[in-house]
Amino acid sequence: MSLNLHLLRLFATVVQTGSFSRAAETLHISQPAISKGIREFELQVGCRLLDRTSKGVTPTREGQALALHATRLFAAERAAEEELLSLRNLETGSLRIGASTTIATYMIAEPLGLFHAAYPGIELHLVSANTRDIADLMIAHDIDVALVEGPVDSAELIGAPWRTDAMSLIAAPAHPFAQATAPIDPKAIENEILIVREPGSGSREVVAQALSASGVTPRRTLEIGSTEAIKEAVAYGVGVSIVSTATINDQLRLDRLRTVAMKNLSLSRPLWQLKAPDRIDLPAAHAFERIIRTEPGLRQPSSS
């Protein structure tokens, strides 16, 4: 049996007001329409729901049970309407953003600040993980916005570039690469320890593809699951690495790292926004997307 929600609303209003006439006034319909609706509803559910007396109406045992469910149902309906209204107006609500590690650490602070200044009533949540994990969170609808460093092969997601990110080969200042007076041959990387991110990292996949396309196969690699830790290892001469240029500006100014030009190899990558095609984006997600795609402060940083 499927309950008729219109008739359920009539019944719940009668119970709430205690009379057919007051229910009619509340719903702005005639009293005969209320009476007819209640008769139809009792026939539909197969039992008497209201006891009619000279003092008004009271719910039967079955009516009391149904009235409790109706109260919860229509309270949820009102809450949904209020939340949708507030979300449309971007006055309250929440926005859950998932970003792969480099984006979350070095690129998301400015758009978060701009969004908060424009929509202070929206509660922000940021999840940082590698590209594969962010994709899984988007598929599970656990986040509203997904920004990652590499394309994701998934039939459940679509991806679109939202920013171009330059990448640089880095070495310690005392490393022979940093002392070179001309761009190095990328094949020289094969004789070095190449420090890479963990499997599932978008930057690792981009670097591997670019080196492979240039015929470079590193003989030794060191896997470290943090860009910050990679930079520290490179600064202390453990090896070399290729990382997002946006992550190294402070170390370049302090002369703890140097960028190394490579002959006939310039690395950049698109950063991707992932979406679930079967999902309607929240207005807050649309507003955040406008910020990351149009604000001039988010243009590609220089690789000084």
Inter-residue contact 204 to 130 (CB < 8 Å): no
3-state DSSP call for residue 260?
A: strand
63-77, 143-157, 227-241, range with greatest mean pLDDT: 227-241
Reported CATH class of domain 5-89: mainly alpha
Tokens of 249: 């500006």
pTM: 0.61
Model pLDDT for residues 76-90, shown as the tens digit of each residue: 888 777 667 666 778
Question: Domain residues of the chain, as ranges?
Answer: 5-89, 93-162+270-298, 164-269
Sorted by sequence, the CB contacts under 8 Å of residue 96 that are 6+ apart come out as 125, 127, 142, 143, 144, 145
Q: What is the mean pLDDT of residues 190-200?
A: 93
Q: Which long-range contacts (CB under 8 A, 24 or more apart) does 4-7 make?
A: 4/40, 4/41, 4/44, 6/37, 7/37, 7/38, 7/40, 7/41, 7/44
Distance of CA 230 to the CA centre of its chain: 26
Tokens of 228: 């910050």
Residue 176 confidence (pLDDT) above 60: yes
Q: What is the mean pLDDT of residues 51-67?
A: 89
* pLDDT reported for residue 124: 95
Q: What is the mean pLDDT of residues 66-77?
A: 89
**CATH for 164-269, options being 3.40.50.880, 1.10.10.10, 3.40.190.10, 3.40.605.10:** 3.40.190.10
Q: What is the mean pLDDT of residues 260-286?
A: 88
CATH topology assigned to domain 93-162+270-298: D-Maltodextrin-Binding Protein; domain 2 (3.40.190)
201: confidence class by pLDDT, cuts 50, 70, 90: confident
Beta bridge partners of 127: 98
